[in-house]
Amino acid sequence: MIKVAIVGYGNIGKYAVDALRAAPDMELAGIVRRPGSEPVHGIKTASSMEDLGHVDAALLCTPTRSVEETALPLLARGINTVDSFDIHTQIWELHCALDKAAKVTGAVSVISAGWDPGSDSVVRTLLEACA
């Protein structure tokens, strides 16, 4: 089982919980929320990743502008990260920063995962090339 933590519990975080519960090869380690946030009923809720124990990966369900500052300490600990960073003009810079940090510990950082950016971005680029 892959132990996965969710960092942030807004709309994306809530749907990420549902997705993890449906994945037979993944286990929800818990949710990391801001200190003072209400606990989530039936799910281990913590204010730091350290409070969750061993975690293989973290789904970063945070605002886009906080992805880098959230991912870097996790990658430094060898925790794989997945985010949905969506500022198209800054994706390359984010890739460079997180890739460098991930390589130090052998972790993996999947950036801009989802529809847009993600698969929609690829389709958009292909269509622009055709035009």
pTM of the model: 0.88
**CA 68 – CA 66 distance, rounded (Å):** 6
Predicted pLDDT of residue 89:
87
Mean pLDDT of 45-65: 96
**CA 98 – CA 80 distance, rounded (Å):** 11
Secondary structure class of 56 (helix, strand, coil):
coil
pLDDT tens digit string along 78-131?
999 999 998 888 999 999 999 999 999 999 999 998 777 767 777 888 899 999
Candidates 56, 11, 58; CA nearest to 32 is: 58
More confident residue, 86 or 3: 3
- Going by pLDDT thresholds of 50, 70 and 90, the confidence category of residue 66 is very high
